Amino acid sequence: MSVAVVSVVLTATLAACSNDHDNTSNSTTAASATVTAGSSSPSAACVEAMALAADEPDIDRADALITTTLSVCVSVDEWLSALRLHPAALGVADPDDVGEVDVQAACGGDPLTASTPVCRDAAARGR
């Protein structure tokens, strides 16, 4: 998926979530920053997508937002870095508990996630 398509998807997702989200303190501006695979810090877009997933109380909507993070983030490393900043996105309390099992849980078995950048990176790494 190209960066432009991901930006459009993220912008649409952020707009939809900001219209329905009850938390008025949550900033839902679409970030357009990108990161290269292997970067030590996650892009603003990846962090924002993960924050939205962490703040979503509805489990079905949260699952869809996690799938969005797998498309917005470009690598396993970036995704895990963003998840460590917002571990509640997967129901984890302690950022130190975030790890490979979370990648496996997010990517495992769903054809929709298999084609995302994060899950493709995981598969290429044998995860």
Predicted confidence at residue 53, as pLDDT, reads 97
Phi first, then psi, for residue 118 (nearest 5°) are: -65, -45
Phi first, then psi, for residue 125 (nearest 5°) are: -90, 0
Predicted confidence at residue 127, as pLDDT, reads 72
- The rounded distance, in Å, linking the Cα atoms of 32 and 5 is 11
- The rounded distance, in Å, linking the Cα atoms of 36 and 41 is 10
Encoding tokens for residue 117?
């950048």
pTM comes to 0.69
Predicted confidence at residue 40, as pLDDT, reads 62
CA Rg value for the chain: 13
DSSP, res 115: T
Tens-level pLDDT at each residue, the chain (127 residues): 333 333 333 433 444 444 444 343 333 333 333 343 444 699 999 999 999 999 999 988 999 999 999 999 999 999 999 999 999 999 999 999 999 999 999 998 788 899 999 999 999 998 7
